Structure 1
Amino acid sequence: MSSQAEEAAEQGSNTEGPSSSSSTDNGATTSGDIITVTIGATVPTGFEHTAAEEVKEKIGVETRISKDRGRIYFPITTDKLYQAHLLRSVDNLFVVVEEYDHYQFKESKEETLMELHELASKLPWTKALEVWKLNRSLKKKKGHRKGGNGSKSKLENVATDSPVPNTEQQELPEAPAPGGQTNSESTPDMESSMQESGDTAPEAKVIKFRVTCNRAGDKHSFSSNEAARDFGGAVQEFFQWKADMTKFDIEVLLNIHNEEVVIGIALTEESLHRRNISHFGPTTLRSTLCYGMLRLCKPQVSDIILDPMCGTGAIPLEGAIEFNSSFYIAGDNYDMAVNRTVNNICHIQKRRAEKGGASGLPIDTVRWDLCNLPMRTSSVDIIITDMPFGKRMGSRKKNWDLYPSCLREMARVCRPGSGKAVLLTQDKKCFSKAISRMGGLWRKLHTVWVNVGGLHAGVYLLKRTGAVFGETPEDIYESRGLTNTQADEKDDKELS
């Protein structure tokens, strides 16, 4: 565990849980001062099982994967709440208020919206609000040590994940900024807690909130905005809170996926994937997606791991922090990309030094020609990189020349028989054809389909075979009795 994680664990273990209650809402159970609740988490689509494995490994509980891609649910006790914020595969966290597997929506929009309006006053809010309050107290400790941490404005009704500079690796849980007081009977001790926080003016007596609706499915008679408006109005009436779309204290989530409905309260103010990068590029990967790609190749002690198209260094940085028994080499053929990577490494090292921890990272950065790497043959154990999609960087036309060239160079430096590669690309046709031209140097083991900025992309796990490097594609085709044209026709038929 990193020094930041150890610091969080120490603070989390010293934090008292909320008072117990005789009732059990949303399946929540109490034992002394410990409450057990269900936590929901958003994760990179395609890596739900990876996130479930991490939860089992680090928290020791079983995880349920939602029908709605990109979400998982797991039980947790409040004394371990801080551990959920230390998960590397999780983007956002929320505590579940209530969930319905088969919610029967009315046929007309008016009836459905009226039902959602009435639902707010029937929900078991108590345990979820206690967990939100505990989560906020963890953030308060962090803010006190750092001199406070202001609330970040959110401008959209539906949450988005655009990059934000000056980010921080999560050492402690992040939560909505402390607000005012509540008049709700379901949380009688909230008022004293608000006064004790000392983070707001005494005259601010009303909690500010917003409702975010995330809806998927084509059989709904209502829109996301309509559901958020009507449900939010009912929440406002029930709690006497004040609606505020930007400077809110509590974010209530209404997640609807076909007939699955989950109501929750957000525990993260901004996505946990914004933790390593301070200098962003046009195609910077989420740290959570980088973690999923790294887990896919299972780094071992003393492995040499190469990212030949590092961009901002998101992949090797995540690896150097979480899998620090391996050594990482990050390179790119653009000066600006190399400079960003160096700046991001320096940012992490400086932050660690300020906290009194070890500042060194097992990572080095080089500027090179990715089709002519200055590395010995068979010297790398794992290659992991984000290849150009041909959208924001490069072009599809350039990929037809780039992909075969860089795949052959990757095969040269990768150890035959044991080496692996994890490659991300949205240009699936070009990638598949390039692999077929490698003369058996690479073999596909597994593919994970992910959503990257709205694009459907593939994360390909390849194994470096024991095939002899040096044979050209023409040699392979000739040995099979095929001309280049016949090989092209064969590849096109396989791809179709």
Structure 2
Amino acid sequence: MESNKPYLLFNVPQGFEHVALEEILEKIPELQSVEYIIPPLYGLIYFKDCSILTVDMLIKFKSLLSIDNVFVGIAEYNVDLGERNQLPKEEKYKFIEDALYEGNWLHALNVWHFCTEHHIDEINYESFCSAGFSEMYSLPNNNNNTNNNCIHEPKKIKVNKENKQKENDNNSLSTFEARNNYISKILECRQQNLFDLQQCNYINSEIEGYKDLTQREIAFRGTFLKYDYKSKEIRTQQLASYLGDATFKKFMEVGGQELFKGKLKVNLKQWDLEVWSAFIKSKNWEIGEKDKHCGIAGVHELKEGEKMKEENKKDTINGSVNTSTYDKYKILYGITLPLNNYVKNDKSINHRNRCKFGRTSLRPTVAYCISRFSNIQPGMVVVDPCCGVGTIPIEASCLCPNAMYYGGDIDQDEINDCALENIKYMTKLTGKRPPIDIFIWNCKKIPFGDDSVDRIVTDLPWGFRELSYVENRRLYPPLFREYSRIIKPSGLIILMTSQRKLVRQIMGYGWCKLDLLYFTEVVVGYTVGLYVFKKRE
């Protein structure tokens, strides 16, 4: 066991760790003085030895748009699996259960109890802003722009009787007044440090409505991520079962029921408590410790005229190290903070700002990270020529609402049934229509004049679920020609695709007037390339 001190762990889109870090440090200034580690391409940002986690910080966590999950650490453990190869399989991986059982559960469960008892997952960030949270604190801007016109103001929600009735039907906060009650209670204790168990102990507090803790059931599940540990001798489900065994062992010990404040019951779909763990190569962890700024943090950091050859960039895919000869790993354990109500509604974060989906829809967090990376400024014209259900324009408009966004696609059903419905849905959520116009068009003939667009930000068809490699060979060349025509000399083209070979071929054509400024790899289910192009002068 390396450390029992509490730590914070942010789960973000893989490859966009430094983009997400930029947002975290902007909106949570309390973390600016805390040492952090970013192992490359794991989608994890580790804040070491946190001594403070206030209620104020929890509320601000809800405003982070590049974050998938936040974990409070229980333990971390270093292991050399090569030294355990002589043991039977059951004994070889038994340390996973033992390390979790011996970890520091108190801090993580104290934060979890606060979140669940105050229903913080059922109260959105805008509700806190409406109650005056943004006036109490000078919240940071949502982007790096110094222009005051692009400050992302908290959105006010128009509440009418119908909306109140829907809230009553869908949430455990039975009345609108009850929700305001909890908001007031949370804001009253916003300065409390939930890591200070002497001053702020919710493990020993009583739960409203439960005189006998045996009457309270807590839906529980364990989640284990193997990442680049490719061994086939044990399945992910078996590793997760070790987490479940350790949790129930902790629950069954003396005082365990008081620690969890209820009875544990396994539920893999609609859970209240999630214990999370992951394998990380010690080699990659050391890289994250030494080189904290090796990733991407926005195209605005690129020097003028800087070029980067894709062929010269190091391959940073996690699978590049053969796991049969590499056995040293770090294992992290934590409890997921219930900061949103997607799980209780049998939904995921995919439902943020949208109600319709397509076969190739990006996760909102990925779309937001691409938009933030693109450094969109007020007044810019931003185009997504292959917008699908409109995820990129929608998330980009949350980042900088004073730019103009245009999206289009050749699929009429996707535009009419999904993209336009998502715009209506977001208008209903915020009470204001986002600055987005959606069209049906052929991306080979985009209806914009020459040199008229500031940013092209798009996720191209990869040839897996949509089109094929042969079809992409016919699509990409005229697509790049059209991008070259409409983009301004000062503009940038930011695109994501898995067709690296095809992009290299196009860059070699004489008619291609684009220079590659930047390339990196990101993981969105598949490992794909993120490109930044500029028109050649």
Q: Same fold (TM over 0.5)?
A: yes
Distance 1:218 1:370, change over 3 A: closer
Q: Percent same amino acid at aligned positions?
A: 30
Task: Give the Cα separation in 1 of the matches to 2:37 and 2:169.
Answer: 36
Task: Give the Cα separation in 1 of the matches to 2:37 and 2:209.
Answer: 35
- 4+ residue segments displaced more than 6 Å: 200-203
Q: Could you list the per-position Cα deviations for residues 39-80 of structure 1 after superposition, in whole angstroms to 9, with x for gaps in the alignment?
A: 212211111111112112221224421356111123462231
**Unpaired stretches in structure 2, ≥5 consecutive residues:** 128-163, 173-182, 184-197, 253-262, 282-328
1:252 and 1:265 in contact (8 A); partners too: yes
User: 1:381 maps to which residue?
Assistant: 454
Distance 1:312 1:219, change over 3 A: closer
How far did residue 192 of structure 1 move?
4.8
User: 1:450 maps to which residue?
Assistant: 522
Aligned runs of 1:474-493 on 2, under 5 Å?
none
User: 2:503 maps to which residue?
Assistant: 431
Task: Give the Cα separation in 1 of the matches to 2:411 and 2:16.
Answer: 30
* Residue 399 (structure 1) aligned with residue 472 (structure 2): yes
* Residue 262 (structure 1) aligned with residue 332 (structure 2): yes
User: 2:531 maps to which residue?
Assistant: 460
Q: Could you list the per-position Cα deviations for residues 111-132 of structure 1 after superposition, in whole angstroms to 9, with x for gaps in the alignment?
A: 3344333334421110110111
* Residue 89 (structure 1) aligned with residue 66 (structure 2): yes
One-letter amino acid of the counterpart of residue 507, structure 2: I
1:91 and 1:273 in contact (8 A); partners too: no
How far did residue 138 of structure 1 move?
4.4
Task: Give the Cα separation in 2 of the matches to 1:26 and 1:208.
Answer: 26
User: 2:486 maps to which residue?
Assistant: 413
Distance 1:262 1:397, change over 3 A: same
One-letter amino acid of the counterpart of residue 275, structure 1: R
Task: Give the Cα separation in 1 of the matches to 2:446 and 2:406.
Answer: 12
Match of 1:210 among 214, 221, 224: 221
Task: Give the Cα separation in 1 of the matches to 2:445 and 2:533.
Answer: 21
Aligned runs of 1:138-149 on 2, under 5 Å?
138-139=119-120, 142=123, 146-147=167-168
Task: Give the Cα separation in 1 of the matches to 2:214 and 2:20.
Answer: 43
TM-score (norm 2): 0.67
How far did residue 263 of structure 1 move?
0.9
How far did residue 333 of structure 1 move?
1.6
Task: Give the Cα separation in 2 of the matches to 1:447 and 1:231.
Answer: 38
Instruction: Say which SS state the counterpart of residue 483 (structure 2) adopts.
Output: helix
One-letter amino acid of the counterpart of residue 38, structure 2: I
User: 1:27 maps to which residue?
Assistant: 5
Q: Choose 376-385 or 132-141, whichever is displaced more.
A: 132-141
- Say what the alpha-carbon RMSD is for the aligned residues: 3.0
1:372 and 1:409 in contact (8 A); partners too: yes
Instruction: Say which SS state the counterpart of residue 75 (structure 2) adopts.
Output: strand
1:407 and 1:435 in contact (8 A); partners too: no
Instruction: Say which SS state the counterpart of residue 279 (structure 1) adopts.
Output: coil
Instruction: Say which SS state the counterpart of residue 294 (structure 1) adopts.
Output: helix
Task: Give the Cα separation in 1 of the matches to 2:447 and 2:41.
Answer: 45
Task: Give the Cα separation in 1 of the matches to 2:201 and 2:20.
Answer: 36
Distance 1:385 1:430, change over 3 A: same
Instruction: Say which SS state the counterpart of residue 237 (structure 2) adopts.
Output: helix
Match of 2:368 among 276, 284, 291: 291
Instruction: Say which SS state the counterpart of residue 419 (structure 1) adopts.
Output: strand
* Residue 73 (structure 1) aligned with residue 51 (structure 2): no
TM-score (norm 1): 0.72
How far did residue 224 of structure 1 move?
2.9
* Residue 106 (structure 1) aligned with residue 79 (structure 2): no
How far did residue 278 of structure 1 move?
0.8
One-letter amino acid of the counterpart of residue 325, structure 1: N
Aligned runs of 1:135-214 on 2, under 5 Å?
135-136=115-116, 137-139=118-120, 142=123, 146-147=167-168, 190=203, 192-193=205-206, 195-196=207-208, 204-214=215-225
User: 1:115 maps to which residue?
Assistant: 95
Distance 1:441 1:72, change over 3 A: same
Task: Give the Cα separation in 1 of the matches to 2:517 and 2:121.
Answer: 46
How far did residue 148 of structure 1 move?
6.8
User: 2:17 maps to which residue?
Assistant: 48
Match of 1:310 among 387, 393, 396: 387
Q: Could you list the per-position Cα deviations for residues 353-390 of structure 1 after superposition, in whole angstroms to 9, with x for gaps in the alignment?
A: 2xxxxx12111111122111221111110101111112
Instruction: Say which SS state the counterpart of residue 288 (structure 1) adopts.
Output: helix
Tell which has more relative contact order, 1 or 2 (C-alpha 8 A, sep 6+).
2
Task: Give the Cα separation in 1 of the matches to 2:386 and 2:484.
Answer: 15
Task: Give the Cα separation in 1 of the matches to 2:266 and 2:5.
Answer: 30
One-letter amino acid of the counterpart of residue 452, structure 1: V
How far did residue 422 of structure 1 move?
0.6
2:74 and 2:100 in contact (8 A); partners too: no
* Residue 236 (structure 1) aligned with residue 236 (structure 2): no
**Unpaired stretches in structure 1, ≥5 consecutive residues:** 1-24, 29-37, 152-171, 173-185, 354-358, 467-496
One-letter amino acid of the counterpart of residue 530, structure 2: V
Instruction: Count the aligned residue pairs.
Output: 392
How far did residue 134 of structure 1 move?
2.0
Task: Give the Cα separation in 2 of the matches to 1:222 and 1:374.
Answer: 54
Task: Give the Cα separation in 2 of the matches to 1:120 and 1:410.
Answer: 52
